Amino acid sequence: YDANRKLTGTTKYKYGANRKLRGKTKYAANGNPIEKTEYEYDANNKLIGKTKHDAGGKLVGARGYEYGNGEIIRKKRYTSNDGVNLILTGRALVLQ
């Protein structure tokens, strides 16, 4: 909602058979899609990827996750729309 309490858009969610969030799409007030996000899980239902695209299908950004022992994320990968990759491992940051 905006300052005048007018609805400015909506979000629709999509879930998989395992009841995990598979995607979400944001829409403008006129019903046109603004942004689409997709989620990917491994066989243990842990989030391993998140990809976001704009209304035209262009990549806005992506994230990937690798897990170590238990539930601890040991590596995060971020990809920007211009193809720059950032990889976080523990306390180290690698720019590719």
Q: pLDDT (tens digit, 9 = 90+) per residue, 39-66?
A: 999 888 888 999 999 999 988 888 888 8
Q: Which two tokens stand for residue 64?
A: 């990937």
Q: pLDDT (tens digit, 9 = 90+) per residue, 7-32?
A: 788 999 999 988 899 999 999 989 99
Return d(Cα 33, Cα 90) in angstroms, integer: 37
- Tell me the whole-structure pTM to 2 decimals: 0.75
Q: Which two tokens stand for residue 81?
A: 């729309």
Q: Which of 67, 63, 65 is nearest to 48 (CA)?
A: 65
**Residue 47 neighbours by CB under 8 Å, 6+ apart:** 39, 40, 41, 65
The percent of the chain in helix, strand and coil, each rounded to the nearest 5, is: 0, 60, 40
